[in-house]
């Protein structure tokens, strides 16, 4: 699933629901802080992983409760973003 990043204040943000283990790919032209988080309850999100001073993220994540809404934030505008589910 291709991610659609939208500007929210100083950050670029994309949200996507997943129903299985997943891989996140994000690319930026400049070094960025990229944060992957998922929903907890209500409207709150818990940080799963924070990447500092990177221009590429390609990482796998797993969980045991589905569905989850994944939220990815970046301090620089991503040039590419994608989530791929295991199944």
- pLDDT digits over 36-68, tens only? 999 877 788 999 999 999 999 999 998 778 889
Q: Exposed/middle/buried for 34, CB within 10 Å: 0-12, 13-18, 19+? A: buried
The answer to whether 63 and 69 have CB atoms below 8 angstroms apart is no
Average pLDDT score over residue span 58-86: 94
pLDDT value of position 18: 93
Give the Cα-Cα-Cα angle 6, 28, 50 (nearest 5 degrees): 80
- pLDDT value of residue 5: 98
- pTM for the model: 0.92
């Amino acid at each position: 699933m291709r991610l659609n990043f939208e500007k929210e204040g100083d950050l670029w943000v994309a949200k996507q629901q997943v129903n299985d283990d997943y891989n996140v790919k994000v690319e930026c032209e400049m070094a960025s802080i990229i944060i992957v988080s998922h929903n907890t309850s209500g409207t709150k999100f818990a940080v799963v992983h924070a990447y500092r001073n990177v221009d590429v993220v390609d990482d796998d994540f797993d969980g045991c409760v589905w569905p989850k809404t994944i939220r990815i934030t970046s301090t620089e505008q991503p040039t590419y973003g994608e989530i791929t589910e295991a199944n």
